[in-house]
Amino acid sequence: MKTETRPATPLNFIVLLVLFGASGLVLWMRPEVSGVATFGFVVLGWVIGLCLHEFGHAASAAAFGDYSVKARGYLTLDPVVYINGPNSIVLPVLILVLGGIALPGAAVLIRPDLIRHRWQSSLIALAGPVMSLIFALISYGAAQVAFAQAAPDVFWQALILLSFFNLMAFVLNLLPIPGFDGFGVITPLLPQPLRGMAERLERRPWISLLALVLIFLFGFPLIYALLGLVAGTLGLDLDGMRPAFDRFTFWN
């Protein structure tokens, strides 16, 4: 079977990192524009987190035998190759900006026929949320270092907000809902015919859309409770995200 290939380069990810660093420098040096600067810094950081999330799926799939992910350019961290329709990169950024919900979308195309064992498919689904968690911890650690070095409040608080969003992505993605990574972790381990039923549910995108609407309308108390539980277990103090979130939504 011929594998679709697409041009990919790490240069795009390097440019993304440079822009992220430049926006952080503006946030540090020009606190009078902290609203716009916080917005740019966090959105660029969120896109980096999305790339790392999808790279986690791709790298684990490649390790378990799916050679097609390399041919498609997923292992370069190039954000352009993760744009597979509006559900990837574009939609997560819009949802974050408009609704404050941090949820990566489906982007990496994986060939299940090349994965040898079902438990490996579960690990591939789990790898994305784990990368979101790792990036959340890195962002939090950077905020603690910045705070210890007497950095401007607007800077380290923006890092806390970035950590918060990636922690939210970790929690949301592990929900056992069709289309979410948590469902992808469980499905390969189910016995037949339950696995077949679950796979059919995953092919119905309206279920994921309905779940997002329900979470947005009714689910935030549960999500915040889960976030608090995870943050408390990890020893993370996320109070600094509140003033940063107010600056992030500067248009309000």
Q: Which residues are catalytic?
A: 54
Asked if the bond preceding 221 is cis, omega within 30° of 0, the reply is: no
Residue linked to tokens 């949320």: 129
**Cα(131)–Cα(57) distance, rounded to whole angstroms?**
9
**Cα(24)–Cα(28) distance, rounded to whole angstroms?**
6
**Cα(181)–Cα(121) distance, rounded to whole angstroms?**
11
Closest CA to 158 of 73, 20, 58, 42: 42
In sequence order, which residues have a C-beta less than 8 Å from that of residue 179 and are 6 or more positions away?
A: 106, 202, 205, 207, 208, 211
The one-letter amino acid code at 217 reads: L
Q: Answer whether 222's CB lies under 8 Å from 163's CB.
A: no
**Cα(218)–Cα(205) distance, rounded to whole angstroms?**
20
